[in-house]
Amino acid sequence: MTEGNFVDYVKIHINSGNGGKGSAHLHREKYVAKGGPDGGDGGRGGHVILRGNKNLWTLFHLKFKRHVKAGHGEHGSKQRSTGADGEDQYIDVPLGTVVRDTETQEILHEITEDGQEIVIAEGGKGGLGNWNFKSSVNQTPRYAQPGIPGEEVDVTLELKILADVGLVGFPNAGKSTLLSVITAAKPKIADYEFTTLKPNLGIVQYRDFKTFVVADIPGIIEGAAEGKGIGHRFLRHIERNSTLLFLVPADAPDIKKQYEILVDELRRYNPEMLDKDRLIAISKSDMLDEELKAELKAELDQNLGAPYLFISSVSQQGLTELKDRLWEMLNKEAV
């Protein structure tokens, strides 16, 4: 999937269908005197329904569909005939989609399972026909109920990627390169910052045909939680990752400081992110000889205070150990 096809935020105006009018018909037949009321009920207006679809990865199919209208209910007719219900409109969305009220930003619903259906806007009820109002004191009612109008609402659909592992790091830390090596994903890779402008997903093939999903989140910079750079637009995707893999390049001026800045940005965006399992990967470690690596390891053991390992996507150094560690962290509760 190209970056231009990745859409994780859309606003939609929704109209459910109006209920049909009830009929005020009076029975007329040649050999039936005073047949009485026989007006049928109006049909229900169509619902607008959100439906989870595991085959979708983005909201791109809704990018140019900003108005969704359900069908109106048919009116009731004679012989107590009920009008047909309005046609329901389904909006298929990927798993991990959050529905917000556009005006208040209140979270209304959340789609997390395939086939899960949530009615966003209910269709209006059909009006009752006049035969419902017949009684001993009102044997010929000449009135019926109108249908109830449908709902009109503006909603924002916001996708939060459902991935097992989220790659977190500064721009140009090697996240896209790592993703391209351990998965079949083909993210854009270049030697300048902010190469990745949209999140990328990849499936890691582990031993015995086991798999887990890794998400490459666009680079975060200091101040991203306040809106600097582009990372703040995608911090929400990290909320759904059960494990966070921090990538810090081996040639960074201060590895500990870079790691602490990244952790602080996550904390300022959502303190609950600090409860997730964390692993630090020192990328581009093929630039280090054994002596430099030993010195760096001694320093990190004393100061870093978090589990880490050395990797190199180019030379594929430490990638097997990385997969093993990630798999253990993802399945520690099952062990």
pLDDT tens, per residue, the chain with 335 residues:
444 456 778 999 999 999 999 999 888 877 777 778 989 999 999 999 999 998 887 888 888 888 999 999 999 998 889 999 999 999 999 888 989 999 988 989 989 899 999 999 999 999 999 888 988 888 888 889 999 999 999 999 988 776 788 888 887 777 778 888 887 655 444 443 444 446 677 778 888 878 888 877 775 655 544 444 444 555 666 777 788 889 888 888 888 888 888 888 788 877 887 888 889 988 888 888 888 888 888 888 887 778 888 988 888 888 889 889 888 888 875 44
Per the annotation, does 314 bind a ligand?
A: yes
Per the annotation, does 313 bind a ligand?
A: yes
State residue 76's pLDDT score.
Answer: 92
Per the annotation, does 219 bind a ligand?
A: yes
Per the annotation, does 133 bind a ligand?
A: no
Angle ∠(188,193,199) on CA atoms, nearest 5? 45
Per the annotation, does 16 bind a ligand?
A: no
State residue 224's pLDDT score.
Answer: 45
Per the annotation, does 146 bind a ligand?
A: no
Per the annotation, does 175 bind a ligand?
A: yes
State residue 305's pLDDT score.
Answer: 76
Per the annotation, does 174 bind a ligand?
A: yes
d(Cα 272, Cα 307) in Å, to the nearest integer? 20
Per the annotation, does 82 bind a ligand?
A: no
Per the annotation, does 320 bind a ligand?
A: no
State residue 116's pLDDT score.
Answer: 94
| pTM: predicted TM-score of the whole model, two decimal places | 0.66
Per the annotation, does 171 bind a ligand?
A: yes
DSSP-assigned letter for residue 184:
S
In sign, the C-alpha dihedral spanning 17, 22, 25, 27 is positive
Per the annotation, does 289 bind a ligand?
A: no
Per the annotation, does 264 bind a ligand?
A: no
State residue 188's pLDDT score.
Answer: 46
State residue 193's pLDDT score.
Answer: 41
Per the annotation, does 293 bind a ligand?
A: no
Distance of CA 328 to the CA centre of its chain: 26
**DSSP secondary structure of 38-70:** -PPPPPPPPPEEEEE-TT---SGGGTT--EEEP
**DSSP secondary structure of 194-212:** T---S-EEEEEE-GGG-EE
